[in-house]
Amino acid sequence: MDSSWNRFTQFLSYKAERAGKMVIEVSPRGTTQECYKCGEEVKKSLSIRTHRCPYCGLEIDRDYNSSFVVLKRGLKLVGQGLSEFTPAEIEPLPREISACSVVESGSSLQ
């Protein structure tokens, strides 16, 4: 079974190289126990399918959390970080826009 995994990573690395990408191997050990947001270890049995972190309050599917931990570890190995997700804040749209306030892009009218 170990040789099959090795063969798979060889194929994957070959295809990634041809596409101009890279394959980074990351240890999966402890990825389901680690909180991706704060990094704390949250022990749970295999029957628990939701990751609930008592330290930072993150509540997310266990496998989804694990995938973020793997991504975070991989990015760390190549010298990058996982950017924090912050939703953009925008003002509410005005109810009416007058046609005289609309200026075409590239127009000499400013």
How many CB atoms sit inside 10 A of residue 66's CB?
19
Burial class, 88, CB count within 10 angstroms (exposed 0-12 / middle 13-18 / buried 19+): exposed
Q: What single letter denotes the amino acid at residue 39?
A: G
Whole-number Cα distances in Å, 38 to 9, 16, 52, 87, 95? 30, 31, 12, 19, 41
What is the pTM (predicted TM-score) of this model? 0.65
Summarize pLDDT for 57-98 with one digit per residue, the tens.
Answer: 999 999 999 999 999 999 888 887 666 655 555 566 566 656
| Cβ neighbours, 10 Å, residue 36 | 22
Mean pLDDT of 8-37: 93
